[in-house]
Amino acid sequence: MKVALITGVSRETGLGFETARQLSQLGYFVIVSARDIYQAKSLAGPANLQAEQLDVTDPGSIEALCRTIERDYEKLDVLINNAGAYYDQGAHALETETAFVHEALDTNLLGAWRMIRAFAPLLQRSDAPRIVNVSSGAGSFHDPSFGIGARPGATPVYSITKTALNALTIHLAHELKDTGIKINAVCPGFVATYPGTAAYGARPVSEGAKGIVWAATLGPDGPTGGFYRDGQPIEW
């Protein structure tokens, strides 16, 4: 049985829950985690998933879940760093409070970093370990619509956290290359996870999640250290 862990699964219309549903349909046993265990439980029950509490900014919470998974499953096959927030639409870097930047980096960058460090030993016990960092075209230097510099003033902090997450992905791919762990950054595209966004061109959540599932289920010849959308490479 392949065991997958997804962070940031607190909403039925979020990418985390849809990714969990798709992975479970492929036969994976999926642990869905959220800061508020009751939100994860309310989603997990009907979908036959396991719910756990996890705050990616809290090392104690990460350590506790790591011990639970080691005790119950002895290994982890897939880690999906989906938790992310701080979408500062319309903000300006000059006016942004430093505390906000700290919090955003703590979740979007350091959260994934902590998770990978904590779970790397369990992932190394898998036959085909995979890490997916859910990133965004907003962190890309080349995305013509959402990328860095494409829309001056748009989501400066969020974008920088995703650029940093992409850089972390490249570094770790190099460091992990002899371990069998494949790690990639995935942009789901602009996805209708919040009401009203479809009217602005956001696509169905199921479509965005497919690219995450693709990277989570890569075969032995699959890539590592890349940036993908819908299973296709995109520019950093």
In sequence order, the β-bridge partners of residue 51 are 32
Q: Which of 129, 188, 211, 226 binds ligand NAP (CB under 6 A)?
A: 188
Residue labelled with tokens 């508020």: 36
Measured distance CA(102)–CA(106) in Å, rounded: 6
DSSP state of 202: P
Stretch that binds ligand NAP, among 34-42, 43-51, 71-79, 227-235 (CB under 6 A): 34-42
Q: Does 203 bind ligand NAP (CB under 6 A)?
A: no
User: And the tokens for 139?
Assistant: 């962190």
Choosing from 158, 194, 200, 228, the catalytic residue is 158
DSSP state of 5: E
Q: Which of 26, 85, 93, 198 binds ligand NAP (CB under 6 A)?
A: 85
Task: Count Cβ atoms below 10 Å from residue 85 Cβ, excluding itself.
Answer: 13
Measured distance CA(173)–CA(92) in Å, rounded: 32
Q: Which of 20, 32, 34, 51 binds ligand NAP (CB under 6 A)?
A: 34
Q: Does 19 bind ligand NAP (CB under 6 A)?
A: no
> Which CB, 51 or 127, lies closer to ligand NAP?
51
Please say if 158 is a catalytic residue.
yes
Measured distance CA(47)–CA(152) in Å, rounded: 41
Q: Shortest approach of ligand NAP to residue 141 CB, angstroms?
A: 16
> Which CB, 84 or 147, lies closer to ligand NAP?
84
DSSP state of 204: P
Q: Which of 78, 83, 181, 183 binds ligand NAP (CB under 6 A)?
A: 83
Beta strands in 38-137 (DSSP E): 50-53, 78-81, 130-134
Q: Which of 22, 159, 169, 193 binds ligand NAP (CB under 6 A)?
A: 193
Residue labelled with tokens 């460090």: 117
Q: Taking the mean position of all CA atoms in its chain, how far away is CA 24?
A: 17
Q: Summarize as ranges the residues that interact with ligand NAP (CB under 6 A).
A: 7-11, 14-16, 34-36, 54-57, 82-85, 107, 111, 134, 136, 187-188, 190-191, 193, 202
Residues annotated catalytic, as ranges: 158
